Amino acid sequence: NAGVTQTPKFRILKIGQSMTLQCAQDMNHNYMYWYRQDPGMGLKLIYYSVGAGITDKGEVPNGYNVSRSTTEDFPLRLELAAPSQTSVYFCASTTNREYTEAFFGQGTRLTVV
């Protein structure tokens, strides 16, 4: 039972490049989230999904896109990477009940140079 798996763990991008951060969960959770955490700061919600085919913007969606074609996968796409997107990205998942905690992946450390 792997929980939430994020790949890659580390990545360096050049300005203007694009990439996809992968997130997969094997707990059959409906809700999935993408957060970014800048150094010394809290987690900011980028996008979230309440089920396959349904996504919605969070607090800081600009510069990112998501899709949810299956329950298991929730990839985050960065188009035209900018230095401001240098951050640690966390994916999380949970059930559709407000009293269950979210399970987090190990994070992806992204540097844009």
Give contact residues for another protein (rule: CB under 8 A). Answer: 31, 33, 35, 41-45, 48, 50, 56, 58-59, 88, 90, 92, 94, 98-104, 106-107
Q: Indicate the residue among 33 and 85 with the shorter CB distance to another protein.
A: 33
Spatial CA neighbour of 6 closest among 73, 67, 57:
73
Q: Least distance (Å) from another protein to the CB of residue 40?
A: 8
Q: Indicate the residue among 16 and 38 with the shorter CB distance to another protein.
A: 38
Q: Indicate the residue among 16 and 51 with the shorter CB distance to another protein.
A: 51
Spatial CA neighbour of 90 closest among 44, 25, 39, 41:
44
Spatial CA neighbour of 17 closest among 80, 62, 76, 78:
80
Partnered with residue 92 across adjacent β-strands are 33, 104
